[in-house]
Amino acid sequence: MKNKNISKPSLALNNIQNKELKIAVIGLGYVGLPLAVEFGKHFPTLGFDINQARLQQLQSGHDSTLEVTDAELAGASQLKYTTDIQALSAVQIYIVTVPTPINEHNQPDLTPLFKASETIGKTLKQGDIVIYESTVYPGATEEDCVPVLERTSGLRYNLDFFCGYSPERINPGDKQHRVTTIKKVTAGSTPEVADLVDALYKTIITAGTHKASSIKVAEAAKVIENTQRDVNIALINELALIFNKMGIDTEAVLEAAGTKWNFLPFRPGLVGGHCIGVDPYYLTHKAQAIGYHPEIILAGRRLNDGMGAYVVSQLLKTMMKRGIHIKGAKVLVMGLTFKENCPDLRNTRVVDIVSELKEYSVTVDVYDPWVDSEEAQREYGITPVDAPKQNAYDGIIIAVAHQHFAEMDVQNLRALGKPEHVLYDLKYILTPEEADLRL
């Protein structure tokens, strides 16, 4: 896709240093909004999103994802919001932060990325730079997105417009590792553009940047970050399955092994969210497209995707051993989000537990004070209860380690169950003696 007669972008380093440019952030979700807020403190910034309700909420000064505080929103004095495509014609740098999900066949769904590229192409001008932050497989920016930009704009890549890639590293709910305090990988379609992209991010990233040698290298670096974590968690999940059969407490084993300086501190559990449970499929898709079957990565995915069913089988077996009838039993699932202390429901694997329990004609109550009930119903057909009932449940599963749950003592948790019940702690918020089951 590279052009031999490479031109130059209209921007120069002094434009960045003197804040003489306008930026548009396309997509104002968990990734885009924090980025737009930081750039909006320094540059005229447009936050573009097709969700009018989302923009109205932000204009009122509140972020429902809780990634940005009301005070931080108010502090971004140069940030404005729009759904008007034509308003984008005033900017020189477009930053794409839309989701990159997978479909029901675990194949990459680049539809949001293509639509964002089409939107940009309608106002793209000579010398503009388009930076992608969305997680993709190596080659997607230049092989899949650039043709959309060229087709829609009528301009030529690396002659009329340029591209960069700087993968997002947002960790939802994490108030310590924020967009500015996480080191940022940057890349550009030419050496000069790479320098410009790197300089641009350095204006807001206090942790510094790492300039990759190419866009493909930066894409690959991003997709393996979460693939590595996925495979490591799969190993620990498999160890938990083995140790459970042997009657050994997995957490005790991991604590003992963790006394060695180079033992990695992974824990077993459900693997969901917008990154770890999704990104590996982007890499395996590309690997298979070039003729390689990635056995370890896919094996890890299969194992992690099966953990919900395993949890239910362990719970039901223990209930049966205690003489609790399964059909018509009532189980409380505590937590629905994909991780603790945030409202993010994307790709949560707690739904696997809920659906598996229902297969056995078990009545399930889901309790999660962090989630929006309408969103849970819309996305998964689950309506969380406002509060769990006392003395009502045959089984209780602590599926998410929200602080609210961790602060409940075991007596209060046990009070939710019937006289004979099973308490399953997936998140190690209880001691081995306090829980009936642990992963």
18-46 pLDDT tens trace:
788 999 999 999 999 999 999 999 999 99
Catalytic residue among 145, 163, 275, 342: 275
Q: Is 145 a catalytic residue?
A: no
The reported pLDDT for the residue numbered 6 is 59
The reported pLDDT for the residue numbered 2 is 46
Asked if residue 179 has pLDDT above 70, the reply is yes
Give CA separation, 222 vs 73, 135, 168, 347, 397, in Å: 28, 7, 8, 19, 33
Q: Note the pLDDT tens digit of each residue in 44-92.
A: 999 999 999 999 999 999 999 889 999 999 999 999 999 999 999 999 9
Q: Phi, psi at residue 124, to the nearest 5°?
A: -65, 135
pLDDT band at 5; cut points 50, 70, 90:
low
Residue that wins the pLDDT comparison between 176 and 387 = 387
Q: Note the pLDDT tens digit of each residue in 357-393.
A: 999 999 999 999 999 999 999 999 999 999 999 999 9
pTM of the model: 0.92
Residue that wins the pLDDT comparison between 170 and 236 = 236
The whole-chain average pLDDT of the chain stands at: 94
Per-residue pLDDT, averaged over 406-435, amounts to: 95
Q: The tokens of 44 are what?
A: 């005229």
Asked if residue 1 has pLDDT above 60, the reply is no
Per-residue pLDDT, averaged over 206-221, amounts to: 98
Please give the Cα distance from 267 to 194 (Å, whole number).
38
Percent of the chain surpassing pLDDT 70 = 99
The reported pLDDT for the residue numbered 270 is 95
